[in-house]
Structure 1
């Protein structure tokens, strides 16, 4: 038995959160990965929120040690894929979660006003 090749790189997991059909999302992700040379995970999930719930997916990207990338490149791939998912799944919003921040994108009417209101952090006890 030979010794394995072992490689490390800095971790930088990024997750896309979006509602929509799991099977359609898999196809969109497969095409994107074939187009740009990437590997992602696609996991079905349920988003539960005040007054309802919605089926969706989580798409994971990591800094893969075999083909390491800068954090900005991983986030750029995530954003490009999220736009493709948004179009292909006919969604009006998505979020991208990085290790140190989460960014929400929305094209829904009314969200512009809501997003400009200040968050009262005291409501969360922080």
Structure 2
């Protein structure tokens, strides 16, 4: 049995939209670049409502180890595609070392932004 140990690095993309559509986008991206991701349904519950969406996961996979910056770059490119393909305004990427919110919404000054996510 082969045993390969790599440094832990994860990146999770959170975005609203239909699971089936997210899977199509993820499949196209993975086929194009040679990647493997997980796609899971999630429910977002926020002040005044709920919406369904997905969590897309990337890891430092021992069979094809990669550097954190390369994994995060894949997550960011895929998140942008998911925002566009799922008709969303934003997505969050939660990684081992940082969290990034990507948005097509007009920016608000931090002091007046009272939204949770």
Matches within 5 A, 1:52-91: 52-91=49-88
CA distance in structure 2 between the aligned counterparts of 1:31 and 1:105, rounded to whole angstroms? 21
What is the SS of the residue equivalent to 1:68? coil
Question: Normalising to structure 2: TM-score of the pair?
Answer: 0.92
CA distance in structure 1 between the aligned counterparts of 2:80 and 2:38, rounded to whole angstroms? 17
Structure with the greater alpha carbon radius of gyration:
1
Match of 2:89 in 1: 92
Pairwise CA distance, 1:105: 1.3
Select the residue among 18, 36, 43 that pairs with 1:21. Answer: 18
What is the SS of the residue equivalent to 2:108? helix
Higher strand share: 2
In structure 2, stretches of 5+ residues that fail to align are: none
Count of residue pairs brought into register by the alignment:
113
Match of 2:108 in 1: 113
Question: Normalising to structure 1: TM-score of the pair?
Answer: 0.85
RMSD: 1.4
